Amino acid sequence: MRIEEYKDMIYACGRCEFCRGFDYNDRCPEVFTQYWESSTARGRMAIARAILEGKLEYSEDLAERVFGCFMCGRCREECKKAAQIDVIEVTKAMRQDFIDQGIKIPEAGAHMADTVTSSGNIFADPTKVHNKWSEGLEFKKGSGTLFFPGCLASHRFKEKTNILVQLLQAAGYELDFLGEDQTCCGTPYWITGKMEHSKKYAEAYLKKLQDRGVKEIITPCPSCFRAFDEEYPKLLGIEKLPIKVRHTSEVLEEIVKEEKLKLKQSVKKKITYHDPCEIGRYRDIYEPPRKVIESIPGVEFIEMSRNREHAFCCGGGGGCKIMFPDHSQKVSDERIRDFVKTDAELMATICPACEMNLTHGMYEADLEVRVLDLAELLAVSAGIISPEILEPDYFPED
Regarding 19 and contact with ligand SF4 (CB under 6 A), the answer is: yes
Query: Measured between alpha carbons, how far is 374 from 292 in angstroms, rounded to an integer?
Result: 8
Q: Which residue type occupies 216?
A: E
Whole-angstrom Cα distance, residue 271 to residue 372? 10
- In the complex with ligand SF4, the residue whose CB is nearer, 15 or 207, is 15
Among 5, 15, 172, 392, binds ligand SF4 (CB under 6 A): 15
SS3 of residue 216 by DSSP = strand
- If binding is defined by CB under 6 A, does position 46 make contact with ligand SF4? no
For residue 206, state whether it binds ligand SF4 (rule: CB under 6 A).
Answer: no
Question: Contact with ligand SF4 (CB under 6 A): which of 71, 153, 245, 263?
Answer: 71
CB neighbourhood size of 261 (10 A) = 21
Residue of the chain from 66, 73, 350, 357 that contacts ligand SF4 (CB under 6 A): 73
Q: How far is the CB of 6 from ligand SF4 (least distance, A)?
A: 12
Separation of CA 209 from chain center: 22
Closest contact distance (angstroms) between CB of 40 and ligand SF4 is: 6
Q: Is residue 79 a contact residue for ligand SF4 (CB under 6 A)? A: yes
- Whichever of 139 and 286 has its CB closer to ligand SF4, that residue is 286
- For the bound state, the minimum distance from the C-beta of residue 199 to ligand SF4, rounded and expressed in Å, comes to 25
Helix (H) or strand (E) holding 46: helix 41-52
Q: Quick one: 21 or 387, whose CB is closer to ligand SF4?
A: 21
Separation between Cα atoms, residue 312 and residue 157, nearest integer Å: 23
**Can you spell out the DSSP letters for 236-247?**
HT-SS-SSEEEE
From candidates 2, 6, 34, 42, binder to ligand SF4 by CB under 6 A: 42
Q: What is the DSSP string of 153-190?
A: HHHT-HHHHHHHHHHHHHTT--EE--GGG----SHHHH
Closest approach, Cβ 282 to ligand SF4, in A, equals: 11
Q: Which residues are at the interface with ligand SF4 (CB under 6 A)?
A: 13-16, 18-19, 27-30, 41-42, 45, 69-75, 78-79, 82-83, 85, 87
